């Protein structure tokens, strides 16, 4: 059982070639584009949802920050669809791989910070020292603020990985516990099955929320730096 528990997180390969690339390319196929103004029902619902999220997210930015709107909206849609597809049985979720989340987090964070340092250097440096600190504490506080800035991309990546991986693992474990208890004791099976249903609802929520949090934090870093 120990080997099987983590076997679903292995990146799938076809004869040594990474098939994970194909699985990452699946979500765009589920979001069709259209050249007409008035579309069929499915495309209209998708466009309405995307419009809702993009309006909600981009109101807090100024003009320079809104140039990032394409990037942020596609980010939240990608993470949300990838997490939700990972809830299907036997499927592989690319966001459980730390490598992919680091590849998403580091360039976005670095882009926001470097943009801030290039344009408004005084404002960017001012983040390192909160207002009203007593004078003896200043050196230590600058060091702490620097560390907290440098740890932001790692936190972004590890947060997403850990949440999704932990949720999947928990569902595996409780599912196999349900199966094992079904032959021994029926009422406890029902209790564990209820827990499984609640967990599934939680997982759906977590999938969406993690996407939201990731994107929100990136947009926050953007807001600080524009």
Partner 1 sequence: MASVVGIFSHSSVSVPVKDKKLLEVKLGELPSWILMRDFSPSGIFGAFQRGYYRYYNKYINVKKGSISGITMVLACYVLFSYSFSYKHLKHERLRKYH
CB of 116 closer than 8 Å to CB of 225: yes
8 binds partner 1 (CB under 8 A): yes
Nearer to partner 1, 85 or 113 (CB): 85
Q: Which of 19, 49, 60, 144 is close enough to bind partner 1 by CB under 8 A?
A: 19
CB of 164 closer than 8 Å to CB of 93: yes
User: 13 - beta bridge partners?
Assistant: 18
41 binds partner 1 (CB under 8 A): yes
Q: Using CB under 8 A, count the residues that bind partner 1.
A: 22
Distance CA 202, CA 196 (A): 10
132 binds partner 1 (CB under 8 A): no
52 binds partner 1 (CB under 8 A): no
| Residue window 80-119: x/- pattern of binding to partner 1, with contact defined by CB under 8 A | -----x--xxxxx---------------------------
- Which region among 39-47, 60-68, 100-108, 140-148 touches partner 1 (by CB under 8 A)? 39-47
78 binds partner 1 (CB under 8 A): no
Nearer to partner 1, 29 or 186 (CB): 29
By the criterion CB under 8 A, which residues form the site for partner 1? 1, 3-4, 7-8, 10, 12, 19, 26, 29-30, 32, 40-43, 85, 88-92
């Amino acid at each position: 059982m120990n080997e099987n528990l983590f076997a679903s997180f292995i990146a799938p390969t076809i004869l040594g070639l990474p098939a994970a690339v194909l699985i990452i390319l699946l979500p765009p196929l589920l979001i069709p584009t259209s050249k007409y103004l008035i579309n069929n029902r499915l495309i209209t619902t998708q466009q309405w949802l995307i419009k809702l999220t993009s309006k909600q997210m981009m109101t807090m930015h100024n003009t320079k920050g809104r140039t990032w709107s394409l990037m942020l909206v596609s980010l939240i849609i990608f993470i949300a669809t990838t997490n939700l597809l990972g809830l299907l049985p036997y499927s592989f979720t690319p966001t459980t791989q730390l490598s992919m989340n680091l590849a998403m987090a580091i360039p976005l964070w670095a882009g926001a910070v470097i943009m801030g340092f290039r344009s408004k250097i005084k404002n960017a440096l001012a983040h390192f020292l909160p207002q009203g600190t007593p004078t003896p504490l200043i050196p230590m506080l600058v060091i702490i603020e620097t560390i907290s800035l440098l740890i932001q991309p790692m936190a972004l990546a590890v947060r997403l990985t850990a949440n999704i991986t932990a949720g999947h693992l928990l569902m595996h474990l409780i599912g196999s516990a349900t199966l094992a208890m079904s032959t021994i004791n029926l009422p406890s099976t029902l209790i564990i099955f209820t827990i499984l249903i609640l967990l599934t609802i939680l997982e759906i929520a977590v999938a969406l929320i993690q996407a939201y949090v990731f994107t929100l934090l990136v947009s926050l870093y953007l807001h600080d730096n524009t």
